[in-house]
A and B are shown apart, each in its own frame.
Chain A
């Protein structure tokens, strides 16, 4: 019994923080329809501010006021006003990408401003390590006490607020249909801004409360906190506040109890504790009926008043301009390749090769999201599966790398199909969260075994040899990658133009409409996942062969988030977009690598911020620029034609 209590007690502060953050998630989701993953980053910001203030000798309560009561809601309202106000009627991807961008950009910004030095976190209220009393023989420290007390008080205040003011009801009305709510006299803008303020306060509070528990204030810890909170919110069906709070607390406790009873030292025990919330999230998503794909027809009854979403396809062009732009692109690509082969110094050749390999992985996102209209936050995991397959096959059976790539692609495809099955009945947001939880389970458990990720030291992977020709040299490997990328690009293009692509485009437009003409929507969703995972697997295998070694950290879940953000911000609907994204990412990475280390987070900041433009330009910034340039070219061509005609007559 006393052992059980000693496991339960440390879980309570975690549970309280999960509950707080989850309450914030549900609140914003209810009021604005945005599932704000950036709360993880916002919690981090408050924790950092609090710690800095306390270090600087400010009294604890002033530091608390500034970092939590002032800064946190300010950030939330700011985000709502400049960004999420415009996404209310947008599809899930448009709501998700900016939040992901923030989740990446905010910690990068913090790191840029105040450097990377680890800060010892400070505790609120009571002195953290002092033991105040014993419960069933277990010590209760000041840090546990203050976390629990503060969380409970705040949650009671929230409940009173929602109850007494009818705010909860108004929020529901606003998310159901902002227009109808406004017709009924509710000021939906205000309700939404208010909800963002309150829930950001919660996120900040959760951050400050949990900070002392972690050995140092670092962004990754707060992302883990975020995912646990997502699981709690799912337990509440993204709607019920009491269930969400209960879910958060229970999650925190069960997590610690499990960790306490599992035998120590195995992959399961070290991995399952961090992975537990994600397992719960996956189970809840799959089993909770209310989370199943909300019937698209039950949307906002007044949605017809909204302007139709902008068309994401490039407009049809005059023949001259279309041909001209193709010739231009072809010449540019050829020039780039020749320069790369002839002029570029060794380390840049590696960077370019890396960029092209990454482009292959990014094309998997083009297939799944650009063509298929689905969101996946586990593309790096699929890539990892391919990479480990290549490595293991080469190590154990001496399988040639190219054959390994095929097997790896096939393995990833199989995993992709398995992941797709439970997503079939889910809506866009839930699919994203389910794939995220799969990625986290893979990181924390599946990839840690020596038969998969190669154990602690990873795997060494050879460069390919084809029919006696070795591609070990970096320039030979470069050309091999060019050829493979060209093949994959061609396949993706043909797929998009063919029956499968057209059916997927129909589904993107309207699932109901597609089914009404006989399209088997479920089958196509699985097909899109499978093909996408196969492409990612091949890309991952190539990546491993390029690096000549691979370990699980190469395919950490955070890469999946970064991948989506990078591709979406450059251009998620075209093959060219994926290649540009791959090159832009690695070239920037290399450039930033040459700077002093404190600038290492610039990359996340740049792409995170570019992702914010996704709200306005879902076609991607480069694609937007291309359309703009072609528009100008077309105007010019028209002008010239008119001149000619005038001269002729």
Chain B
């Protein structure tokens, strides 16, 4: 059984059909790339899966459970982690604090009475885990800098690390490489490979950089104006005529 099965999702905003009967399956530990031109509906599909938007029609089953009606935080607790195209960082907090709070929420051990007894501060084990995750994405040197002082690329890495702390079964990344320089991109590819190898996390990756996508994913899904126009192995999909047209415009 697939880890994520989204079937026949449709969503329209006013007159715009952002998703038209999109069906998407992601197996456990599988990495799937989701590509398509601007406005194709990639982010909308992410929002439907993670719970920020409710699809007009269709069903979403995650890990054998129908999750259509769950709030985003419940889906997150079930194991769907994500990053955002427009950053959603905790302004005023440091990367380390981002990970500490994420770890505490994941473990679910926080209690009000513990806070009031002074038992709510991060434990040594939590700090170690956070430091380990920071090292995994290469942010250990800025662990205590306010996130507002980080470059866009590194800020995206904070979001990635924050999502990773929750040990998600499915990690959804919305254009993680935008704002990164070449070296950071290579590091990002290495990180994603390590995460997959070490944790067996399934990845759903939205990305415009086709080289980067090809280096990470097993399968490619192409979306155009809300429709899936191709789905299959990376090489085959990239060679297909429809995909080239969607990306490069009609051949003259």
Contacts and interface: CB of A to CB of B under 8 A. Distances in A.
Nearest to A512: B88
Interface string B63-79: 00000000111001100
Given A313-B92, A497-B121, A513-B89, A503 B105 contact: yes
A506 B86 contact: no
Given A297-B86, A515-B76, A499 B91 contact: no
A499 B77 contact: no
Contact of B115 (A501, A516, A517, A519): A501
A510 B91 contact: yes
Contact of A517 (B93, B101, B112): B101
A361 B109 CA distance: 30
A518 B77 contact: yes
A531 B104 CA distance: 21
B94 to A, nearest CB: 9
Given A494-B120, A516-B81, A316 B91 contact: no
Contacts of A505: 90, 92-93, 97, 101
Interface stretch (A100-108, A303-311, A324-332, A452-460): A303-311
B84 to A, nearest CB: 7
A516 B84 contact: yes
Contact of B73 (A304, A308, A510, A518): A518
Contact of A502 (B52, B101, B117, B146): B101
B46 to A, nearest CB: 11
Contacts of B163: 516-517
B115 A499 contact: yes
Nearest to A522: B71
Nearest to A506: B90
Given A494-B120, A498-B110, A518-B106, A311 B88 contact: no
A508 B92 CA distance: 9
Contacts of B91: 308-309, 311, 508-510
Most chain B beta carbons < 10 A, residue from A316, A495, A516: A516
A521 interface: yes
A465 interface: no
A497 B62 CA distance: 35
A514 B90 CA distance: 8
B42 to A, nearest CB: 15
A515 B93 contact: no
Contacts of B116: 491, 494-495, 498
B226 to A, nearest CB: 19
Contacts of B72: 512, 515-516
B227 interface: no
A500 interface: yes
Contact of A499 (B81, B86, B90, B120): B120
B18 interface: no
A413 to B, nearest CB: 12
A2 to B, nearest CB: 50
B110 A503 contact: yes
A425 to B, nearest CB: 12
A494 B115 contact: yes
A494 B93 contact: no
Contacts of A491: 116
A312 interface: yes
B121 A509 contact: no
Contacts of A316: 144
B250 interface: no
A516 B73 CA distance: 6
B73 A519 contact: yes
Contacts of A506: 90, 93, 98, 101
Given A497-B120, A515-B76, A304 B86 contact: yes
A517 B166 CA distance: 7
Interface in B133-177: 144, 146, 148, 159, 162-163, 165-166
B14 to A, nearest CB: 13
Interface in A299-347: 304, 308-313, 316
A520 interface: yes
B84 A513 contact: yes
Contacts of A501: 115, 120
Given A311-B148, A517-B166, A499 B89 contact: no
B170 to A, nearest CB: 13
B120 A517 contact: no
B90 A498 contact: no
Most chain A beta carbons < 10 A, residue from B81, B86, B88: B88
Nearest to A304: B86
Contacts of B102: 517-518
Contacts of A311: 91-92, 146, 148
B100 A502 contact: yes
Range, interface on chain A: 35 or more
B15 interface: no
Contacts of A519: 73, 105
A500 B73 contact: no
Nearest to B97: A502
A245 interface: no
Contacts of A500: 110, 112, 115, 120
Nearest to B47: A297
Contacts of B162: 513, 516-517
A363 to B, nearest CB: 14
A527 interface: yes
Interface in A454-499: 491, 494-495, 497-499
Nearest to B108: A518
Contacts of B109: 499
B175 to A, nearest CB: 13
Nearest to A500: B115
A498 B148 contact: no
A503 B109 CA distance: 13
Given A316-B144, A518-B73, A495 B115 contact: yes
Contacts of B106: 517-518
B82 interface: yes
B88 A517 contact: no
B26 interface: no
A499 B111 contact: yes
B189 to A, nearest CB: 23
A20 to B, nearest CB: 34
Contacts of B88: 510, 512-513, 516
A510 B111 contact: no
Contacts of B112: 495, 500, 527
Most chain B beta carbons < 10 A, residue from A316, A495, A519: A519
Given A304-B86, A316-B144, A506-B101, A521 B92 contact: no
B118 A516 contact: no
A620 to B, nearest CB: 15
A538 to B, nearest CB: 14
B35 interface: no
A312 B91 CA distance: 9
Contacts of A497: 115, 120-121
B166 A518 contact: yes
A517 B114 contact: no
A312 B92 contact: yes
30 contacts: A297-B86, A308-B148, A311-B148, A316-B144, A494-B117, A494-B118, A495-B115, A498-B114, A498-B116, A498-B119, A499-B109, A499-B120, A500-B112, A502-B101, A502-B120, A505-B92, A505-B93, A509-B92, A509-B93, A514-B73, A515-B71, A516-B72, A516-B81, A516-B82, A516-B84, A517-B166, A518-B76, A518-B106, A518-B166, A519-B73
Closest 7 CB pairs of A and B: A498-B120, A499-B110, A498-B115, A509-B90, A513-B88, A308-B148, A518-B76
Interface of B: 50, 52, 71-73, 76-77, 81-82, 84, 86, 88-93, 97-98, 100-102, 104-106, 109-112, 114-121, 144, 146, 148, 159, 162-163, 165-166
Given A506-B93, A517-B102, 17 more contacts: A310-B148, A316-B144, A494-B116, A498-B115, A498-B118, A499-B109, A502-B120, A505-B101, A509-B89, A510-B88, A512-B88, A513-B90, A516-B76, A517-B163, A517-B165, A518-B77, A519-B73
